[in-house]
Structure 1
Amino acid sequence: MKSKYYNISSIILLAFLFFSCSSDLDFDQIKDLKLEPVVVANLAHFDIPANQLIDDGGTHIAFDTRDFDVFRDKFFTNHLHKAEFDFEIENNIDRTFAVNLLLMNDQNQILQTISYTVPAYTGTSNVIKYPTEVFENERLALLKQTTKIGFVVLIATGAPLNAASLGNLKLRSGATVYLTVE
Structure 2
Amino acid sequence: MRGLNVILLVLIGLLMTVSCSDEQDFDQIDDLTITPSYETSVFYVKAQETLINRVAGINFFTQDFNFDAFEEPFFTNRVLSGVLTYELENTTSKPIEIRLEFLDEVENVLDIEVFNMDAGPTAILQRDVAYGATGKSLDIIKATSEIRLTAINLGNNSSESTLEDPAIVLRSSAEFTLEIK
TM-score by length of 2: 0.79
Query: Aligned residues, how many?
Result: 165
| Cα 1:98–1:22 shift into 2, 3 Å | same
| TM-score normalised according to structure 1 size | 0.79
**Superposed, which structure 2 residues align to 1:84-99 within 5 Å?**
84-99=83-98
SS at match of 2:180: coil
Contiguous gaps of at least 5 residues in structure 2: 1-8
Local SS of the residue matching 1:53 = helix
Q: 1:22 to 1:97 in 2, by over 3 A?
A: same
Q: What is the Cα deviation at residue 157 of structure 1? A: 2.2
Distance 1:161 1:57 in 2: 14
Sequence identity of aligned pairs in percent? 21
SS in structure 1 of the partner of residue 77 of structure 2: helix
Aligned to 1:135: 131
- Taking the aligned partners of 2:40 and 2:74, their CA distance within structure 1 comes to 17
Letter in 1 for 2:124: V
Q: Distance in 2 between matches of 1:173 and 1:70?
A: 16
RMSD, aligned α-carbons: 2.6
Write the distance in 2 (CA, Å) between the matches of 1:46 and 1:76. Answer: 26
Distance verdict in 2 for CA 1:35–1:158, change over 3 Å? same
What is the rounded CA distance, in whole Å, between the counterparts of 1:56 and 1:44 in structure 2? Answer: 22
8 A contact 1:57–1:160 mirrored in 2: no
Q: Secondary structure at the match of 1:160?
A: coil
Matches within 5 A, 1:1-182: 19-20=16-17, 21-55=20-54, 59-122=58-121, 126-130=123-127, 132-136=128-132, 139-160=137-158, 166-182=165-181
SS in structure 2 of the partner of residue 63 of structure 1? strand
State the alpha-carbon separation in 1 of the partners of residues 111 and 78 from structure 2: 22
What per-residue deviation string (whole Å, max 9, x for no partner) do you get for residues 101-131 of structure 1?
Answer: 1111111121111011121114xx532212x
Letter paired with 1:143: I
SS in 1 for 2:27: helix
Structure 1: distance between partners of 2:54 and 2:145: 31
